[in-house]
Amino acid sequence: MMRLALREAAAAFEKEEVPVGAIAVHEGRVIARAHNLRETLRDPTAHAEMLVLTQAAEALSNWRLDGASLYVTLEPCAMCAGALLQARVSRLVFGAPDPKAGACGSRLDLIRGSGMPFTVGVTTGVLEKDCAEILRAFFEKRRSRKK
């Protein structure tokens, strides 16, 4: 599933968006896929995770995503971690940690320290090198253009 999320990240890269991709899975079936579209939509909330949560809720006809797993190439930020909790996603799997803005264990841990009456299981480091590499390549390309 993380390879599918990486394909979404690659689509973001091609659009000159920060290359983060996400996939939602329910009962073994992909129900949503998205990548960052903040620049394209001019929307600060258009993170891959937020977009995939909206699609997943639509696919299940329910905002409660019990039993759903979210695969994302980069550790979610505070906004996305909060949305995962609110949506009651059962499991989060992410690739690369985000030491600057990660809210699932790196910078903050809103998921495990939320105090909410429900929990989100977390698995980290899945295809971490691949997930980190696409981000490194994107920012290297961006920096070289500015010179």
Q: pLDDT digit of tens for each residue in the chain (147 aa)?
A: 999 999 999 999 999 999 999 999 999 999 999 999 999 999 999 999 999 999 999 999 999 999 999 999 999 999 999 999 999 999 999 999 999 999 999 999 999 876 878 889 999 999 999 999 999 999 999 998 876
Question: Among residues 59, 68, 104, which one has the least CA distance to residue 87?
Answer: 68
Q: What is the spatial distance between Cα 72 and Cα 119, in angstroms, rounded to a whole number?
A: 18
Residue 102 confidence (pLDDT):
97
Cα 34 to Cα 49, 51, 65, 76: the distances in Å are: 7, 6, 16, 14
- Number of neighbouring beta carbons within 10 Å of residue 31: 18
* Type of residue numbered 127: L
Residue 118 confidence (pLDDT):
81
Residue in 49, 75, 128, 140 annotated catalytic: 49
75 counts as catalytic: no
